[in-house]
Amino acid sequence: MGQAGGVTTAPRPAFYALARGGWRDYVTLLHPPYTLWHLSYVVVGATLAPHVDWTVLGLTLAAFAFGLGIGAHALDELRGRPLRTAIPAHVLVALAVGSVAAAAVIGVAVALDRTLWLLAFVAAGSFLVAAYNLELAGGRFHTDTWFGLSWGAFPVLTGYFAVAERLRWDAAVAAAFATLLSLAQRTLSSEVRTIRRATVSVAGTVEHSDGTSTPLDAGRLTRTPERALRLLTATVVTLAVALVVHRLV
C-alpha cells in the first residue's frame, strides 16, 4: 500500500513490528506493547489483594510472560503467520511447548507452596492458550468475548488469587475493568489488522463542510486507532506501576 521509489511496499503487519528477519522476528513475536499491557493486569490484580507477597507476584508475572508473552504468541504465529516472521515452524512449536510448560511448572510450584486451588488457574491458563490461539472447537474460543475474558479478566483474577489465596468482590470488579478494556483493545486492533494485513489498496476522500477534501489512505485509517492503542498501553502500564508504588510506600 505504500510506495518507495515507485515500487509498492507492503506495510508492516503491526505498528510495533520490526524489519523482517533474524533476531527482530523474535522481538516482533512477543507483541511487546500488548504483552506489557496484559502483564500489567497481573500486577493490578495482585496489588489489589489485602496483602502483597512480592515473590509470588514476581513468579506469577514470570508464568504469564512465558505462557502469554511467548507461548500464546508462538501458537498464534504458527497459525497463518499473521506477523510474517521467518521463524521456522519447528522453532515456534518448541517455543510454545517449552514456554507453556515453564509457565505450568511455575504455577504448580506456587500452588504447592500456597494453595492447591491455584492448580485450577494453571489448568485454565494452559487450556486458554491452546484453545484461543489454535482456534480449537471450530474457533468457538477465538472471539472478542473470549479475548476479553482470557487476556483481561483471567490475568487479574490469577494475580489476585495467587497472593490472596481467595477472591473477593474487588477482584471481580477489577476483572470486569480488564475485560472491558481488553475489548476496547480488540475493537481498535481488529480494524488496524484488517488494513495492515488484508487490504490491497485504499481509495477515497473525505469531503469537509468548508469545501476542502482529505484523501484517504491506509496510513490515515490506521493512525488514530494505533495512537489510541499506544496511549492505552501506556495507561495500563502506568496504572500498574502506580499501584505497586502505592503498596510500597
Domain ranges of the chain: 2-248
Q: How remote is the C-alpha of 53 from its chain's centroid?
A: 25
Query: Which of 241, 238, 199, 235 lies closest to 220, judged by CA?
Result: 199
The residue type at 208: H
- Rounded to an integer, the average pLDDT of 83-110 is 97
Spatial separation of the C-alpha atoms in residues 170 and 35, rounded to whole Å = 24
Asked whether the beta carbons of 41 and 178 are under 8 A apart, the reply is yes
Q: How far is CA 154 from CA 76, 91, 204, in A?
A: 19, 27, 42
The torsion angle over the Cα atoms of residues 157, 160, 164 and 165, rounded to 10 degrees, is 30
Spatial separation of the C-alpha atoms in residues 199 and 205, rounded to whole Å = 17
- Entry pTM: 0.92
Average pLDDT for the chain: 93
- Rounded to an integer, the average pLDDT of 92-100 is 97
* Residue 222 cell numbers, joined: 490506521
Residue with cell 501506556: 234
Asked whether the beta carbons of 194 and 226 are under 8 A apart, the reply is no
Judged against a pLDDT cut of 50, whether residue 8 lies above it is answered with: no
- Rounded to an integer, the average pLDDT of 127-152 is 94
Write out pLDDT tens, residues 180-231.
999 999 999 998 999 998 888 888 899 999 989 988 888 889 999 999 999 9
